[in-house]
Amino acid sequence: MTKKIITAMALFSLLFASTGLAASKHLSGDLVIFHAGSLSVPFKEISKAFNKIHPDVNILRESAGSRTCARKISDLQRPADIMASADYSVIDKLLIPEHASWNIKFASNEMAIVYHHDSRESDKINTKNWYKTLMKPNVAFGRSDPNADPCGYRAVLTMKLAEKHYGIPGLAAKMIAKDHAYIRPKEVDLLALLESGTIDYIFLYRSVAQQHGLDYVLIPDQVNLKNSNLKNYYKTATIKISGKKPGTFITKKGAPMVYGVTIPHSTPNPKAALAFVKFLLTADQGMAIMKEKGQPSVVPAISDSYSAIPSQLKRFASAN
């Protein structure tokens, strides 16, 4: 009888513990995510996978240029649970320390020249002549706004690196001056112009081209901002963009493409935010989806704000 009572008590204790554990992990409510346009496809899939584990979390994703996302938090005071940027430095420059405490780098990308099968000169463009093709009078290309979107200032940096790589004085200035009518707030806004034949080419991330099944031309590593071994070379190209406060400006240097994520101070749902970021950064969960969508992991990477990263997330970053 004693053994039966002890066994029953043990089973009850296990049941209570497991129930309490399940209750402690139960998440619900809205989860607001501001993210770069180039994260739209992978974050949609990651959200679906997350909801299989946490079905009561209502994920509200809002895409825009990364700098625009940051300004929704800093200037418009809009509450957000997660901010994911196509350039980690946007979080460092515009959100830390007033609106966020830490930043984790999580994925990479590269610039490419994207086109449609009906684009003019598409049967001739290649890795060697892409810049010549874009400069032809009968060809129109689009790019995003440097002050709103990292892809926009990366397009300009790509042009400046192309001038240096190919040794053609004045090339960047001529490319920057061309086709201003086709500058849009974020890179994915340009896809409709491409599909309609309004423009022939876009300076765009390779991952976005892959995700949308578009044709693209790869450009040399000396130009595409992909290769971390060329970081000192990339920073020789610069662009002036708007600063943290209206009327101020900062100089942005070329650098390898690295995405960043943080949880702003304004988060209304910190528990769900922490769980989502952990899911995102886990190799066989969110990062597996990121890799599948053409944005390889850089986890763990050095973070200048490592000491402020929550303990549950520290394993996804490095102090040095």
Complete DSSP assignment for 205-267 = EHHHHHHTT-EEEE--HHHHS--GGGHHHHTT-EEEEE-SSTT-EEEEEP---EEEEE--TT-
State the average pLDDT over residues 243-254: 90
Q: Which helix (H) or strand (E) holds 18?
A: helix 2-25
Return the pLDDT at 244: 81
State the pTM of this model: 0.84
pLDDT of residue 172 exceeding 90: yes
Return the pLDDT at 299: 97
String of DSSP letters for 274-306: HHHHHHHHSTTTHHHHHHHTT--B--SEE-TTG
Return the pLDDT at 276: 98
Q: How confident is the model at residue 247 (pLDDT cuts 50, 70, 90)?
A: confident
Residue percentage of the chain with pLDDT more than 90: 86
220 half-sphere exposure, CB direction, 13 A CA radius: 15
Domains along the sequence of the chain with CATH: 28-108+257-318 (3.40.190.10), 111-253 (3.40.190.10)
- Angstrom distances, CA of residue 78 to CA of 82, 214, 271: 12, 34, 19
Q: How confident is the model at residue 320 (pLDDT cuts 50, 70, 90)?
A: confident
Q: Which helix (H) or strand (E) holds 242?
A: strand 238-242
Q: Tokens 């901002």 — which residue?
A: 225
State the average pLDDT over residues 162-167: 97
Closest by CA position to 187, among listed 158, 164, 219: 158
pLDDT tens for 47-82 read 999 999 999 999 999 999 999 999 999 999 999 999
Residue type at 148 in one-letter notation: A
pLDDT of residue 110 exceeding 60: yes
Question: What single DSSP character describes residue 37?
Answer: G
Rounded CA separation 87/91 (Å): 8
Return the pLDDT at 5: 43
pLDDT of residue 94 exceeding 70: yes
State the average pLDDT over residues 257-261: 96
Return the pLDDT at 246: 83
Q: Average model confidence (pLDDT) for the chain?
A: 92
- Helix (H/G/I), strand (E/B), else coil: 31: strand
